[in-house]
C-alpha cells in the first residue's frame, strides 16, 4: 500500500535564494555605506585631533622662540647706548655679531635711529653703504608704528630684506631714554624661505602646510610658500580667517575649504598665541584624508566584494542543485522517516484529492483518526527509543490490517490517519474494530511487553463534511469523544461532538484559570477498620468550586486535565494540600492516615520521588501518614520500572496501595515483587457481592491472596450493611463507601472523627449519619 500523489515542480527555494541574494546585496551595500560614512567621520576626527595637537605645539614653540630671542635685546640695547652707537655706529657691530652667534636662527641684526635711519647691519659688508629707509616708505611706516608699541618687543609683518635679500620676520625692540622717548630700534631678522627652526621638532604629514597668521590677516610665516609675494603681501581671506573671525574667543578650532595661498582644498586646525596677536595653524590636503580612509578601509571593501562573489557563486550552485533535486526533496518532505508512511502534509494533500475525486464520482469514503492511548506516558518515562520502536510496530500492524487501496499516514506523535475509499459507516466501523483488536495486543520491546490500545474517531464523506479540513476536524472530535468514553474505543462523528469539542477546549482553559485562582478543594472520605468500625484515615478527593457551575466532581474534569497535561500541577497541589491537612490533624492528636491517588502521568514522572521528598519536607508531615494509591493499570504499564519507582517511594517512608485491583492485567509474579502495603478491591466486584457468587468468589480470592502475600486489603464501594457484614466475614481489613460516609469537607470530616464514630454497636451496625 503506497500513497500516490503528483508533485508539481515549484522552484520556491531558488526564488527564495534569489530574493535572499538581492536582499543581501541591498543590505550589504547599505551596511557598507553606513560603515563607510562612520569610518570616514572617525578618520576625519582622528586627523583633526592630530592636526590640533600639531597646531598647539606650533603655537607654543613659536611663542617660546620669539620670547627666547627677545629676552636679550633689552640688555643689548643698554650696552649699545653705553658705547654711544648713535655717534659711532661701527662700534655696535661686535655686539651684534656676538648676539647673533648665540641665536643661529637669526639671519642679521640691524640698528635704526628714531628717525628711521639704518645705523648698522651685521649682514652688510664693512664700509658698504646702508639703505636709506626714506626711499622705502612702507618700511619706514611699519618701523615707526612698531616704535609706538608699549610692548617690550614687536614681531613686525614679514618683509623682503633690503640688505639680506630674502623674506624674513623682523623682531624689533625699541630702546628708550629716561623720559620714555625712543632713541634707537634693534631688529633681529629671522628668515622664512624654508622651514624655520620654529617647527623643526613637529612630525608633519605629507602635504602639510604650517604657518603663523596675524590678527590683521597677513601671514607671518608659512611653509611651504611657493609664491611669497602672494602669501606675505596679500591679506588672507580663506576658511582659516573665516573661522577665526567667527569664533574670536575660541583658542583652538578647525577649518576646512579652499586655501588662497595654494588654491587647494584643505583640512586644518589652529591654535592662538595668547600674547602675540597671532595664530598658528596646520593643514593638509583633503585628498590625504581620502587616502588615509581608503588605506584603512580597502581590506574591508575588498573582503566584501570577495565574500559577495563567493556568496553568489555558492547561491548559483545551490539553485542549480535545488532545481536538479526538487522532485526528490518534494517527495521526502511528504515522508515520515520513522514509520516509512506519508506524513501530515502528504495526508492532507491526498485527503483533498480524495474529496475532489468523490465529488466527481458522487461516491463515499471514510476518514479514521487514530490516537494511541497512554503512549505519552511510555515516551516520557521510558525514553524515545522505546517509543519509536512501538510506533514502528503500530504502523506495521495498521498497514497489515488495511486494504491495498486504503491510505495510511502518520500525522505526528502517536496520531495516525487512515483514508478508506468507497467505504460507508459499516465498512469504517468494521475496519476500526480490526485496528483496535490488533493494537490491544501487547507490544514486545527489549524483552518487555507494553499494553497500549487506541481511540479512533470516524468521519464520513459527504455526511460529516464536504472539505478535507472539515472531515479531519470532525474525525479528531470523534476521537476525543472515544477517549472520553474510556479509551480503546471508536466513535462515529455526530453533530453533538463538534459542540463537545468546543466545550472540551473551554474546559481546559477553565482548568488553567482554576489552578491559577486556587478554585480546587479537597474532600475526605473515611477509611474504616471493618473489624472495629474505627475511622483510621481518609482518602483525599479533589473537587472544583467552579464560580459558574458550582461544585464539580473529578469525573467531569480529570480526564481533560490528563489530556492537556494539567494533571501534573493539579496532582502536585493535591499532594501539598493533603500533606498540610494530615500534619494539621496530627498536631491535634488525631491518628489519621491520608490516601492520595496518583495519576498515571504523575506516577510515570521521572521527578516524582524528588517532588514528594520536597513536599514532605515543606509540610513537615510524618511520611507514614501519607498513602499513595497507584492504579493497577499504571503499575503494569512497565512493571520493572514500577517496581523501582515504588521501592524509591517506600524508601521515603510512604505507604503504597494498589488501586482498582482486578481490573487490569496484573501478573502475579510482578504483584509478588511490588512492595505495596495495601490492595484495594475495585467497587465493581463489591457492588453485586451479595447477589453474584462469582463476585463473592473473586473478592474472597483477592483477600486471601493479600493475606498470603502479607498485604492489607481495602474494599471500595460499600453501600449497604450487607456489603459491610460480608466483607467483615471474609476478613477484609478496611473499607470505604457511602454506607459509612460520603466524601466530606475537611471541617466536617474532622467533626465526624471527634464525635467518636463507631460503625459497630453491641454487635449491630450503627453508622453515624
Q: Which of 273-282, 318-327, 334-343, 755-764 has the lowest mean pLDDT?
A: 755-764
> Bigger pLDDT: 767 or 512?
512
- How large a percentage of the chain has pLDDT more than 70? 91
Mean pLDDT of the chain: 84
Model confidence band, residue 765 (pLDDT cutoffs 50, 70, 90): very low
pLDDT the model gives residue 542:
93
Model confidence band, residue 1 (pLDDT cutoffs 50, 70, 90): very low
pLDDT at 761 over 70: no
pLDDT the model gives residue 313:
78
pLDDT the model gives residue 194:
55
pLDDT at 525 over 90: yes
- Domain ranges for the chain: 335-493, 567-740
CATH class of 335-493: alpha beta
Model confidence band, residue 730 (pLDDT cutoffs 50, 70, 90): very high
pLDDT the model gives residue 762:
36
pLDDT at 277 over 80: yes
Q: Cell numbers for 697, please give them.
A: 468468589
Distance CA 522, CA 541 (A): 6
pLDDT the model gives residue 369:
95
- How large a percentage of the chain has pLDDT more than 90? 29
Cα 605 to the chain's mean position, in Å? 29
Rounded mean pLDDT of 24-35? 81
Rounded mean pLDDT of 156-184? 85
pLDDT at 178 over 50: yes
CA atoms lying within 13 Å on the CB side of residue 680: 27
Question: If you average pLDDT over each of 8-12, 100-104, 448-452, 515-519, which comes out highest?
Answer: 515-519
pLDDT the model gives residue 148:
83
pLDDT the model gives residue 584:
93
Distance CA 764, CA 194 (A): 135
Residues 6+ apart with CB under 8 A from 590: 750, 753, 754
- Preceding peptide of 482 cis, ω within 30°: no
pLDDT the model gives residue 190:
87
Domains 335-493 and 567-740 equal at CATH topology level? no
4-7 LR contacts (CB < 8 Å, sep 24+): 4/350, 5/334, 5/346, 5/349, 5/350, 5/353, 7/327, 7/330, 7/331, 7/334
Size (the chain), residues: 769
What would the DSSP string read from start to end of 44-78?
HHHHHHHHHHHHHHHHHHHHHHHHHHHTTHHHHHH
Rounded mean pLDDT of 256-266? 84
Cβ 475 vs Cβ 455: under 8 Å: no
pLDDT the model gives residue 8:
40
Q: What does residue 516 show for φ and ψ, rounded to 5 degrees?
A: -70, -35
Give the pLDDT confidence of 554-594 residue by residue, as tens digits: 888 887 788 777 888 999 999 999 999 999 999 998 989 99
Tell me whether residue 452 is exposed, middle or buried, using C-beta atoms within 10 angstroms of its C-beta: 0 to 12, 13 to 18, 19 or more: buried
Rounded mean pLDDT of 363-373? 93
Q: Cell numbers for 25, please give them.
A: 546585496
pLDDT at 540 over 90: yes
Q: What does residue 199 show for φ and ψ, rounded to 5 degrees?
A: -130, 30
Distance CA 354, CA 2 (A): 14
Q: Which of 328-332, 350-354, 392-396 has the lowest mean pLDDT?
A: 328-332
pLDDT at 303 over 90: no
* Beta bridge pairs of residue 283: 209, 268
Q: Which of 133-147, 278-292, 306-320 has the lowest mean pLDDT?
A: 306-320
> How far, CA to CA in Å, does 584 sit from each of 101, 267, 656?
111, 87, 22
Instruction: Write down the residue that cell numbers 506495521 correspond to.
Output: 396
Going by C-alpha positions, the residue among 438, 441, 449 that lies closest to residue 382 is: 449
Distance CA 145, CA 147 (A): 5
> Bigger pLDDT: 138 or 702?
702
pLDDT the model gives residue 2:
39
CA dihedral sign, ordered 622, 654, 626, 699:
negative
pLDDT at 410 over 90: yes
Model confidence band, residue 713 (pLDDT cutoffs 50, 70, 90): very high
Cα 228 to the chain's mean position, in Å? 67
pLDDT the model gives residue 325:
66
Q: What does residue 487 show for φ and ψ, rounded to 5 degrees?
A: 65, 175
Cβ 624 vs Cβ 587: under 8 Å: no
pLDDT at 139 over 90: no
Cβ 681 vs Cβ 732: under 8 Å: yes
How do 655-661 and 678-681 pair as beta strands?
parallel
pLDDT the model gives residue 495:
65
Helix %, strand %, coil % of the chain (to 5): 50, 20, 30
pLDDT the model gives residue 125:
82
Cα 438 to the chain's mean position, in Å? 47
Taking each helix axis from N to C terminus, what angle separates 495-516 and 554-564, rounded to the nearest 10 degrees? Answer: 90
Rounded mean pLDDT of 388-396? 92
CATH class of 567-740: alpha beta
Rounded mean pLDDT of 476-503? 77
pLDDT at 6 over 60: no
Cβ 227 vs Cβ 246: under 8 Å: no
Q: What does residue 138 show for φ and ψ, rounded to 5 degrees?
A: -65, -40
* Beta bridge pairs of residue 55: none
| Strand locations in 156-217 (E) | 159-160, 167-176, 182-191, 209-214
Q: Cell numbers for 53, please give them.
A: 595637537
pLDDT the model gives residue 576:
94
pLDDT the model gives residue 377:
73
pLDDT at 638 over 80: no
User: Whole-structure pTM over 0.85, yes or no?
Assistant: no
Instruction: Write down the residue that cell numbers 530574493 correspond to.
Output: 19
- Measured distance between the N- and C-terminal CA atoms of the chain, rounded to whole angstroms: 66
Model confidence band, residue 662 (pLDDT cutoffs 50, 70, 90): low
- Work out the widest C-alpha separation in the chain, in whole angstroms: 162
Rounded mean pLDDT of 520-549? 92
pLDDT at 689 over 80: yes
| Strand locations in 365-447 (E) | 365-372, 407-412, 415-421, 443-445
Amino acid at each position: 500500500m503506497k500513497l500516490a500523489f503528483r508533485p508539481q515542480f515549484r522552484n520556491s527555494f531558488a526564488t527564495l535564494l534569489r530574493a535572499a541574494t538581492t536582499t543581501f546585496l541591498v543590505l550589504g551595500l547599505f551596511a557598507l555605506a553606513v560603515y563607510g560614512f562612520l569610518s570616514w567621520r572617525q578618520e576625519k576626527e582622528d586627523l583633526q585631533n592630530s592636526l590640533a595637537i600639531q597646531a598647539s605645539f606650533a603655537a607654543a614653540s613659536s611663542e617660546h622662540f620669539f620670547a627666547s630671542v627677545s629676552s636679550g635685546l633689552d640688555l643689548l640695547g643698554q650696552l649699545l647706548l653705553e658705547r654711544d652707537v648713535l655717534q659711532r655706529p661701527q662700534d655696535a657691530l661686535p655686539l651684534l655679531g656676538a648676539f647673533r652667534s648665540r641665536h643661529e636662527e637669526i639671519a642679521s641684526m640691524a640698528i635704526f635711529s628714531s628717525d628711521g635711519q639704518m645705523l648698522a647691519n651685521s649682514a652688510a659688508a664693512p664700509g658698504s653703504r646702508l639703505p636709506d629707509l626714506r626711499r622705502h616708505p612702507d618700511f619706514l611706516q611699519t618701523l615707526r608704528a612698531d616704535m609706538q608699541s608699549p610692548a617690550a618687543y614687536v614681531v613686525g609683518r614679514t618683509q623682503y630684506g633690503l640688505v639680506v635679500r630674502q623674506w624674513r620676520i623682523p623682531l624689533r625692540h625699541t630702546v628708550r631714554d629716561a623720559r620714555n622717548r625712543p632713541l634707537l630700534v634693534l631688529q633681529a631678522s629671522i628668515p622664512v624661505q624654508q622651514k624655520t627652526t620654529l617647527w623643526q621638532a613637529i612630525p608633519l604629514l605629507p602635504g602639510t602646510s604650517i604657518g603663523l597668521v596675524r590678527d590683521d590677516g597677513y601671514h607671518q610665516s608659512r611653509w611651504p610658500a611657493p609664491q611669497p609675494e602672494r602669501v606675505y603681501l596679500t591679506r588672507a581671506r580663506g576658511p582659516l580667517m573665516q573661522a577665526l573671525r567667527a569664533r574670536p574667543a575660541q583658542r583652538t578650532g578647525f577649518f576646512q575649504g579652499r586655501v588662497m595661498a595654494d588654491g587647494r582644498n584643505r583640512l586644518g586646525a589652529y591654535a592662538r598665541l595668547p600674547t602675540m596677536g597671532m595664530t598658528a595653524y596646520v593643514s593638509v590636503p583633503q585628498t590625504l584624508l581620502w587616502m588615509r580612509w581608503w588605506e584603512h578601509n580597502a581590506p574591508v571593501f575588498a573582503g566584501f566584494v570577495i565574500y559577495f562573489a563567493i556568496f553568489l557563486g555558492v547561491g548559483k550552485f545551490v539553485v542549480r542543485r535545488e532545481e536538479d533535486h526538487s522532485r526528490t526533496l518534494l517527495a521526502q518532505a511528504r515522508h515520515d522517516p520513522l514509520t516509512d508512511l506519508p506524513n501530515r502534509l502528504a495526508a492532507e494533500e491526498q485527503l483533498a484529492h480524495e474529496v475532489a475525486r468523490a465529488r466527481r464520482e458522487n461516491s463515499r469514503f471514510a476518514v479514521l483518526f487514530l490516537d494511541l492511548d497512554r503512549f505519552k506516558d511510555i515516551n516520557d518515562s521510558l525514553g524515545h527509543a522505546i517509543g519509536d520502536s512501538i510506533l514502528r510496530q503500530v504502523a506495521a500492524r495498521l498497514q497489515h490490517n488495511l486494504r491495498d487501496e486504503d491510505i495510511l499516514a502518520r500525522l505526528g506523535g502517536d496520531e495516525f490517519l487512515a483514508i478508506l475509499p468507497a467505504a460507508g459507516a459499516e465498512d469504517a466501523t468494521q475496519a476500526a474494530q480490526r485496528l483496535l483488536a490488533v493494537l490491544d495486543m501487547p507490544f514486545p520491546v527489549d524483552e518487555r511487553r507494553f499494553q497500549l490500545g487506541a481511540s479512533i474517531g470516524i468521519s464520513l464523506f459527504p455526511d460529516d463534511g464536504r472539505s478535507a479540513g472539515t472531515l479531519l476536524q470532525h474525525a479528531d472530535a470523534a476521537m476525543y469523544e472515544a477517549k472520553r468514553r474510556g479509551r480503546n474505543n471508536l466513535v462515529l462523528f455526530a453533530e453533538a461532538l463538534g459542540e463537545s469539542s468546543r466545550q472540551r477546549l473551554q474546559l481546559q482553559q477553565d482548568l488553567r484559570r482554576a489552578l491559577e485562582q486556587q478554585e480546587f478543594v479537597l474532600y475526605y472520605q473515611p477509611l474504616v477498620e471493618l473489624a472495629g468500625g474505627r475511622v483510621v484515615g481518609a482518602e483525599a478527593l479533589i473537587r472544583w468550586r467552579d464560580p459558574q457551575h458550582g461544585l464539580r466532581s473529578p469525573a467531569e474534569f480529570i480526564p481533560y486535565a490528563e489530556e492537556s497535561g494539567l494533571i501534573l500541577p493539579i496532582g502536585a497541589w493535591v499532594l501539598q494540600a493533603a500533606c498540610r491537612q494530615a500534619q494539621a490533624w496530627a498536631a491535634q492528636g488525631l491518628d489519621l492516615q491520608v490516601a492520595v491517588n496518583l495519576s498515571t502521568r504523575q506516577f510515570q514522572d521521572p521527578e516524582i520521588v524528588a517532588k514528594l521528598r520536597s513536599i514532605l519536607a515543606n509540610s513537615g508531615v510524618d511520611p507514614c501518614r501519607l498513602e499513595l494509591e497507584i492504579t493497577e493499570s499504571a503499575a503494569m504499564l512497565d512493571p520493572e520500572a514500577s517496581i523501582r519507582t515504588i521501592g524509591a517511594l517506600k524508601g521515603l517512608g510512604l505507604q503504597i496501595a494498589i488501586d482498582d485491583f482486578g481490573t487490569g492485567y496484573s501478573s502475579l509474579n510482578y504483584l509478588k515483587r511490588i512492595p505495596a502495603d495495601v490492595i484495594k478491591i475495585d467497587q465493581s466486584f463489591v457492588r453485586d457481592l451479595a447477589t453474584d457468587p462469582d463476585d463473592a468468589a473473586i473478592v474472597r480470592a483477592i483477600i486471601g491472596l493479600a493475606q498470603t502475600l502479607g498485604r492489607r486489603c481495602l474494599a471500595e464501594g460499600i453501600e449497604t450493611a450487607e456489603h459491610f457484614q460480608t466483607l467483615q466475614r471474609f476478613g477484609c481489613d478496611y473499607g470505604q463507601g457511602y454506607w459509612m460516609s460520603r466524601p466530606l469537607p475537611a471541617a466536617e470530616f474532622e467533626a465526624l472523627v471527634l464525635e467518636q464514630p463507631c460503625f459497630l454497636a453491641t454487635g449491630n451496625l450503627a453508622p453515624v449519619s
